[in-house]
Amino acid sequence: MRGTQVKTLFWLQTGACGGDSLAILSAEAPSFEQLLLSYGIELLWHPSLSHAPAKRFDALIEDIASGSQKLDILCVEGSIITAPRGTGLFDSYKGRARMDIARSLAERAEFVVAMGTCASFGGVHAASPNPGDCTGMQFNRANPGGLLPAGWRSRSGAPVINIAGCPAHPHAMTQTLAALAEDMPIALDPLNRPSAFFSMLVHQGCTRSEYHEYDIEDAQLGGHACLFFNLGCQGPLTQAVCNDDLWNGVSSKTRAGVPCFGCTAPNFPREADLFTTAKIGDVPLRLPMGVERARYMAYKNLARAAAPQRVKDKEMDV
Amino acid sequence: MARLELNVSLNRVEGDLEIAVALEDGVVAEARTIGTMYRGFEQIMIGRAPRDSLVITPRVCGICGTAHLYSAVLALENAWRLSPPPNATRIRNLCLMAEGLQNDLRQTFLFFSPDFCTSRYAGEPWFDEMTAMFEPFRGAIYLETLAMTRRLVEIVAHFGGQWPHSSYMAPGGVTLPADLRRISACRAVLQEAQRWYEQRIVGAPLDRWLALDRAEDYLAWLDEPLHAASALGALTRCARALGLHRAAAGTGHMLSYGSWRDPLESSPGAGASLLRSGFYDGDAGSVAQLDQELINEHVRHSWFRHYDGGRHPWRGETVPNYQPGGDRYSWAKAPRYGDKAVQTGPLAELLIGGDALIASLHAMEGGGAWLRQFARVRRIAYEFFYAQRMLDELAAEPHGEHFTPPAGSSEADGDGFGLVMAARGALGHWIAIRNGVIERYQIITPTAWNASPRDSAGLPGHWEQSLVGVTVKDPDDPIEIGHIIRSHDPCLVCTVHMLDTGGKVHFGA
Ligand code: SF4
């Protein structure tokens, strides 16, 4: 262990479904319990796992606010609910808006980590018409500035670290926490996501990619082929490790024939039929990241003509 | 008489929960459960493509997204008159069972049992034993539960790609067939988990445990060394020593939508279940056939625009009207079956479904916090039993259809409902599709039944009833309320409701 001191961690749930808390329990390298047992992280509070009575929560938020309890890592799970009319009282704790608790803890934390797309960008609760006036900790969808302004920095000088994903990938969560425990530097992308987990595309490593190469596409769910042209797959546009570091150690949505819905992106869930690919003529409106439209079509036509029979016949299992 | 108003917040439940109780001489005279969070899920559904419900609604809850997905797909199949092929139902069931196993183990050993390890009980004779098993991140069973539940959700990942939050059930079937590799991998996980359950949790082979059918026999079994040393044996002794078998029966009426669909007897969106559905009338002591038309929701004590009486979810209305300080006190609506407040969960599921041991214990000493928790551990045996059966059937017919593509213009307008038994009890989705998009979507979660506030007639919900009469020794640490509420496996993120935005919200005066 490089980090020499015990690091305190406080996990706050705001407008959440608990999915990130459940997902993190699936991490294996390291597991959540390993972080506590051998990485020197002291869990001050987790709403589902702490066994102290709730009044300990009250005391902790007071002590952290007053500075008598140090806070190294604040994890926030869930959208920040600001309704009605900016009061935040649609998500209250003993009459106090939870968004105020989130803000006051963030002011004291060395690092603030948004666990999941909700806390990062607003997520599913912020989808139109956004009934709870939900936003993220430091982004509102793709726009800088959420509960906290764009220029805000935690005590360590870092912005809110966004572990996007609905839910966040288990290892994106525990490996980031392990890095914080060990004082490793964490490079962030323009959306303040740790680059280590958000530079690959979901498309990389998808077992359907040979079908994609030869432009053999399914028109219905339940098949073997690629889901990009018809079924709304966002894999070639979505940065996440899902097809490299498999979920629960065994699979990914696209491997299971479920289109990637782009859940690590700030616009998740997009305002569209999620199982359909929007097209201009025959061509998807949104092409794989960085691809030029004219070249893409030329290449696809060639590829389809060159497809081997086993691919055309969709003989390969995925 | 000393009257004390107490506001209790509970952690180690999914979501946020506050309970207002009035204590008279230390005994709960009145309770109000308060849902404090509001996200507006059903509103987000309006105007979206019908299939989007498969992506959005599992995100209602991180711990039972598979159950929401199952309800959502059944509602669509009901609206579109589709029946999935048998193998699709087997795979759906298998995944729901895996999610149930995960939930039942975590709820029991990570959420409920740690309450017995708090310093309040340091002087009790069972304290060291409970701590050795259940202390968070130290106890042996606690750590084993973390490891084993991590394995069990692999089953969902094999078919759905990930757990939680995937969308692998679609109208017409599932996205991936069973094959030799997936069947073998799932079987390996189940066998490992089942052996652990037999050895560490109940101390007996599954068939012997399932064959146990009389209350007296179970009580005698408590002295058998293997069971006595098991997690359930220890939990039972401790919970009964605290009197939790006599506490908090709540309403005697129970509701089950039936456990897992029968692969061979499916009709669009419904069909027969492996353990039967029904309404258990606590006054008559008998089970009546389920009739979803009898379900309605009241808003008299909730922060919504008033309407008279109760409304069926297809006619439901949810216009928020937030007015703190009056006699409305929750974001949860009050669902009723006919005019009855009911409880739902594993106790309801097994009692209605015909488990003889649960029926015998219930007949002997009524329902209570211990029996509710005991039923959850008992249900695990059914989940193992039927999960193995689903795998056997898939293995016998591995090339059977897993998906029947819906014909041409399948996304027709119509109404549908989907009812499943989620880990926490009866979960229903109701959808209305007009002009090809969702016009209405209503969800009634298990916790909505249990955490119901008072209805139009002033009748308290199940938790509110079960807390009355409970003695609270230390108002600063009302752990008795924790035992009771946690025995229901509460999930407050589940008290979803539709919300209109902006101008219609009244806040304060
Ligand atoms: S299914 Fe999606 S992720 Fe997989 S190859 Fe096709 S486009 Fe790429």
Q: Identify the weakest region by mean pLDDT among A118-127, A202-211, B60-69.
A: B60-69
Q: Where are the alpha helices (DSSP H) in chain A?
A: 19-24, 32-38, 54-66, 98-108, 117-121, 170-181, 195-198, 209-213, 293-306, 309-312
Q: What is the pLDDT of residue B495?
A: 45
Q: Tell me which DSSP letter residue B434 carries.
A: E
Q: What is the pLDDT of residue B40?
A: 75
Feature table: binding site of B: 42, 61, 64, 443, 491, 494, 497
Q: Identify the weakest region by mean pLDDT among A136-150, B77-91, B302-316.
A: B302-316
Q: What is the pLDDT of residue B503?
A: 24
pTM comes to 0.95
> B76 CB contacts (<8 Å, ≥6 apart)?
B50, B51, B53, B54, B82, B171, B269, B416, B418, B431
Residue B499 has pLDDT above 50, yes or no: no
Residue B505 has pLDDT above 50, yes or no: no
**How far away, in angstroms, is A257 Cα from ligand 1 center?**
9
Q: What is the pLDDT of residue B502?
A: 26
**What single-letter amino acid sits at A120?**
S
**Interface membership of B497 toward A (CB under 8 Å):** no
Determine the residue of A227, A239, A255, A289 to mutate for testing ligand 1's pocket, defined as the one with the most ligand atoms within 8 A of the Cβ atom: A227
Residue B439 has pLDDT above 50, yes or no: yes
* Count of all residues that appear for chain A in the document: 318
> B195 CB contacts (<8 Å, ≥6 apart)?
none
CA distances in angstroms from B387 to B147, B273, B356, listed in the order given: 20, 14, 20
SS3 content of chain B, % helix, strand, coil (to 5): 45, 20, 40
Q: What is the pLDDT of residue B349?
A: 98
The span from the first CA to the last CA of chain A, in angstroms, equals: 40
- Cβ neighbour number for residue A42 with a 10 Å cutoff: 12
Q: Which residue has the tokens 């819905």?
A: A261
Q: Which residue has the higher pLDDT, B258 or B318?
A: B258
Tell me the β-bridge partners of B159: none
Does residue B218 lie in a domain region?
yes
Query: Cα-Cα-Cα-Cα dihedral of A10, A15, A18, A21, to 10°?
Result: -30
Residue B136 has pLDDT above 50, yes or no: yes
Does residue B310 lie in a domain region?
yes
Q: What is the pLDDT of residue A4?
A: 63
Token duo for residue A117: 């797309």
pLDDT tens digits along B9-53: 665 555 556 778 888 998 999 888 877 666 777 788 999 999 999
Contact A43, A73 (CB under 8 A): no
Main-chain dihedrals φ then ψ at residue B88, nearest 5 degrees: -65, -45
Q: For residues B491 and B16, what is the distance between their CA atoms, to the nearest angstrom? A: 8
Residue B506 binned pLDDT confidence (cut-offs 50, 70, 90) = very low
On average, the pLDDT of chain A sits at 94
Q: What is the pLDDT of residue B507?
A: 25
Does residue B378 lie in a domain region?
yes
Q: What is the pLDDT of residue A283?
A: 86
Dihedral sign computed on CA atoms, order A78, B447, A22, B9:
positive
Q: What is the pLDDT of residue B355?
A: 98
Q: For residues B15 and B61, what is the distance between their CA atoms, to the nearest angstrom? A: 9
Q: What is the pLDDT of residue B11?
A: 59
Of A82-91, A275-284, B195-204, B302-311, where does the model show the most confidence?
B195-204
Judged by DSSP in three states, B323 sits in coil
**How far away, in angstroms, is A208 Cα from ligand 1 center?**
6
- Span B122-145, average pLDDT: 96
Dihedral sign computed on CA atoms, order B352, B354, B360, B361:
negative
Judged by DSSP in three states, B207 sits in helix
**Interface membership of A253 toward B (CB under 8 Å):** yes
* Count of all residues that appear for chain B in the document: 509
Q: For residues B315 and B362, what is the distance between their CA atoms, to the nearest angstrom? A: 36
CA distances in angstroms from B39 to A84, A203, B35, B491, B494, listed in the order given: 11, 32, 11, 14, 10
- Span A300-311, average pLDDT: 91
Residue A54 binned pLDDT confidence (cut-offs 50, 70, 90) = confident
Tell which residue, B138, B132, B137, B140, has the closest CA to residue B116: B132
Q: Which range of residues forms the domain containing residue B409?
A: 41-474
Does residue B444 lie in a domain region?
yes
Q: Identify the weakest region by mean pLDDT among B252-256, B448-452, B483-487.
A: B483-487
Contacts of A253 in chain B (CB under 8 A): 160-162, 166-168
- Span A60-75, average pLDDT: 97
- Span B237-254, average pLDDT: 94
Q: Identify the weakest region by mean pLDDT among A2-6, A46-50, A153-157, B483-487.
A: A2-6
For chain A, positions 142-201, list CB contacts with chain B under 8 A.
166-167
**Interface membership of A59 toward B (CB under 8 Å):** no
Q: What is the pLDDT of residue A161?
A: 98
Q: For residues B429 and B493, what is the distance between their CA atoms, to the nearest angstrom? A: 16
Q: What is the pLDDT of residue A1?
A: 52
Q: What is the pLDDT of residue B335?
A: 96
For chain B, positions 305-364, list CB contacts with chain A under 8 A.
322, 324
Which atom number of ligand 1 is nearest to the Cα of residue A209? 5
**How far away, in angstroms, is B286 Cα from ligand 1 center?**
53
- Cβ neighbour number for residue B184 with a 10 Å cutoff: 11
Token duo for residue A306: 């060159």
Does residue B61 lie in a domain region?
yes
Residue A228 has pLDDT above 50, yes or no: yes
Burial class of residue A132 (count of CB atoms within 10 Å of its CB; 0-12, 13-18, 19+): buried
Burial class of residue A4 (count of CB atoms within 10 Å of its CB; 0-12, 13-18, 19+): exposed
Does residue B3 lie in a domain region?
no
Residue B497 has pLDDT above 60, yes or no: no
Q: What is the pLDDT of residue B501?
A: 27
Residues with CB under 6 A from ligand 1: A 202-203, 206, 208-209, 212, 226-228, 233, 235-236, 254, 260
Whether residues A249 and B56 touch (CB distance < 8 A) is answered with no
Judged by DSSP in three states, B9 sits in strand
Does residue B72 lie in a domain region?
yes
Q: What is the pLDDT of residue B66?
A: 96
Contact B404, B172 (CB under 8 A): yes
**How far away, in angstroms, is A170 Cα from ligand 1 center?**
22
The span from the first CA to the last CA of chain B, in angstroms, equals: 35
Q: What is the pLDDT of residue B498?
A: 28
Q: Which of B12, B159, B322 sits opposite A48 (nearest CB)?
A: B12
Contacts of A84 in chain B (CB under 8 A): 322, 505, 507
As for how many domains chain B has, the answer is: 1
Token duo for residue A154: 């935690």
Q: What is the pLDDT of residue B267?
A: 82
Q: What is the pLDDT of residue B64?
A: 87
On average, the pLDDT of chain B sits at 90
- Span B499-503, average pLDDT: 27
Q: For residues A254 and A226, what is the distance between their CA atoms, to the nearest angstrom? A: 9
Token duo for residue A44: 């001050």
Q: For residues B359 and B281, what is the distance between their CA atoms, to the nearest angstrom? A: 14
Contact A167, A198 (CB under 8 A): no
Burial class of residue A286 (count of CB atoms within 10 Å of its CB; 0-12, 13-18, 19+): middle
Q: What percent of chain A has pLDDT over 90?
A: 81
Q: Which of A49, A54, A254 sits opposite B9 (nearest CB)?
A: A54
Q: What is the pLDDT of residue A123?
A: 96
Does residue B331 lie in a domain region?
yes
Residue B508 has pLDDT above 60, yes or no: no
CATH number at B306 reads 1.10.645.10
**Interface membership of A207 toward B (CB under 8 Å):** no
- ipTM reported for the complex, 2 dp: 0.96
Q: Tell me which DSSP letter residue B10 carries.
A: E
- Span A165-170, average pLDDT: 98
- Span A2-25, average pLDDT: 89
